[in-house]
Structure 1
Amino acid sequence: MNDVLRGHRVVPVVVLDDPEAADDLGAALVAGGLPVAEATFRTPQAALVLRRLAQREDLIVGAGTVLTARQVDRAHEAGARFVVSPGLSAEVVRRCQALGLPVIPGVSTASEIMAALDLGLDTVKFFPAEASGGLPTIKALYAAFPQVRFVPTGGITAESAPAYLAHPAIAAVGGSWMVAPDLLAAGKWDEVTARCAATVKGAVE
């Protein structure tokens, strides 16, 4: 998972409730040079969407907004390659570990980071990033936990992402600006591709 994060630096956070649109979305991500996605478990059809995306051999797909061990099982059955959670649940982490699934739990405090370390993790999601103080807070936490790498998500934009990515504490960022719900609903796949390409360019400059 760390190799994936280092390789792509940005993880599109997808909220999609139409499995039929998954193929077009996957093609748009790959065409834009960003072949990785976090398909969130926020919609009734999320597992089906994840399954369709996971069938592509050129796309690395994980499950996001995973709250329970049962959802971990559903994500694993659907083909998820990793799991992302908005908070730190020992039950979720241990179930992922039992299945051999990389897991990135959400944290926003020093105590939660220590709990993640106790569970054997050194990569965590910083969420909600902007509402929790953004990069200044991450810098402060990194001073105390230099062994930890963060994946900030929540309120990050195309404009703010480069500043995060320039800091050594950041493994990658999560965001939805390139897969905004209005673009997906309207089927604007060319725009998704264009935004992915611009994101990749911004991440390496």
Structure 2
Amino acid sequence: MIKISDIVRIGPVIPVLAFDSVDEGEAVCRALYEGGVKVLEITLRTEAGLGVIERASKIADDIVVGVGTITKPEQAAASRRAGAQFGVSPGLTRALHEAAVDAGLPLLPGCMTPTDLVHAIALGYETVKFFPAQQAGGVPMLNAFHGPFPTLRFCPTGGISPETAPNFLALPNVVCVGGSWMTPKAAVAAKDWAEITRLARAASQLGHHAAKAA
């Protein structure tokens, strides 16, 4: 079972994805993989989520498909059965944590406040999602967290763009970022998979900080 600490170091950006249909999702995931993006977060914000996870996980041996927006304990087992290799949640409860452990689904839990971080550390987490990153204080907030939480590593997600991503990636406690800019609605609607591959390739070259605090 691959660990979250390894998953977040595979590439600098994890795309956050939601799809209207399974076929659309598979096509977009293939386009992203073609551009060098090997870690995907496919959210359960639409009914197509589990079906896309099942298809995307079979695209290649080295693709790592995760499930996003886990808010209910029962979603962990269902996602694992569909082929998800990790989970991402917008927040963290003991019930979500225990469900993920029981399902064998490594979890990247969402945290926003110091209390959230203390709770995550108490449950054994070393890597968390800072969400919603831009709205919750962005780079200055993550800088402030580094002092009291020197060993914690973050994947900031929410409101991040290709222009601001390098500012986050330059921080010593950030290992990758999450973003949705690689799949603009117009490109998906037009089935412009080449554009998505282009954006994925550019995101993959933002600079990977795998060596940080390793």
Name the structure with the higher helix share.
1
1:5 aligns with 2:11: no
Pairing 1:39-118 to 2, within 5 Å after superposition:
39-56=42-59, 57-118=61-122
What residue in structure 2 maps to residue 172 of structure 1?
A: 176
TM-score of the two chains, using structure 2 as the length reference: 0.91
Report the RMSD for the aligned CA atoms in angstroms.
Answer: 1.4
Q: Is the 8 A contact 1:16 1:184 kept in 2?
A: no
Q: Is the 8 A contact 2:12 2:206 kept in 1?
A: no
CA distance in 2, matches of 1:83, 1:7: 16
Gaps of 5+ in 1: none
How far did 1:168 drift?
A: 1.2
Q: Deviations over 1:38-80 (max 9, x none)?
A: 0011001211111111122242110000101111111111110
Q: Is the 8 A contact 1:17 1:49 kept in 2?
A: no
CA distance in 2, matches of 1:163, 1:178: 18
How far did 1:204 drift?
A: 4.3
Counterpart among 22, 30, 52 of residue 19 in structure 1: 22
% identical equivalent positions = 39
Count, aligned residues = 205
Counterpart among 14, 35, 39 of residue 38 in structure 2: 35
CA distance in 1, matches of 2:139, 2:104: 31
Helix, strand or coil: the match of 1:6? Answer: coil
Q: Is the 8 A contact 1:39 1:62 kept in 2?
A: yes
Q: Is the 8 A contact 1:30 1:58 kept in 2?
A: no
CA distance in 1, matches of 2:110, 2:186: 26
Helix, strand or coil: the match of 1:195? Answer: helix
How far did 1:35 drift?
A: 1.4
Helix, strand or coil: the match of 1:98? Answer: helix
Helix, strand or coil: the match of 1:67? Answer: coil
Q: Deviations over 1:17-49 (max 9, x none)?
A: 210123322221121011111001100121111
TM-score of the two chains, using structure 1 as the length reference: 0.95
Q: Which amino acid aligns with 2:180?
A: S
Counterpart among 143, 146, 157 of residue 147 in structure 2: 143
